Amino acid sequence: MTRLRRALARIDVRLAVLLAGTTAAFSSLLLSGLLAYAVKESLEEQRRTVDELIANVEDATARHADVGALHRGAAYRVRDAADREVAASGVWPPGARVRRNAGLRTALFAGKDDYLVGERRDSTGTLVAVAWPLRHFVRERGELTTRATIVV
């Protein structure tokens, strides 16, 4: 114990410990920031996918064409101005699994059974809603977190 006290009393040892601690803290903060950025970008990609799917449904509906199935696991609903269902496909997720405001909270707490839902109403009052499964996003978030944990 006396040896440890003598070693810690030396200025070079103190500086080395301080430098190591500061470097570790800075590296952890930097890595956490990069992880948050990567997760946010991945969520933005999911939002863009939902927007593209909405545009596809709107386009097909405007042409009075059959929309068909969008993508495996995705669902859509088209409702007219009187809120009557005009078209639909896929199984709509239960309310507890719907994530409408996809922000950082969604990015951090979304589960593999959750869906990102986007809605858009056109000038005629027709509402197009698309539910996109977040399974891929949750898996990617887990991989990023695992890699960051290993590095730290």
pLDDT of residue 70: 67
pLDDT of residue 69: 66
- Measured CA to CA, the distance from residue 97 to residue 3 in angstroms comes to 59
pLDDT of residue 79: 92
With a cut of 70, list the residues of the chain below it in pLDDT: 1, 7-8, 69-70, 101-102, 152
* 119: β partners: 129
- Measured CA to CA, the distance from residue 150 to residue 64 in angstroms comes to 52
pLDDT of residue 130: 92
- Measured CA to CA, the distance from residue 119 to residue 129 in angstroms comes to 4
- Measured CA to CA, the distance from residue 99 to residue 133 in angstroms comes to 10
pLDDT of residue 129: 92
pLDDT of residue 84: 92
Name the residue with tokens 């933005």.
44
Sign of CA dihedral 48, 53, 55, 56: positive
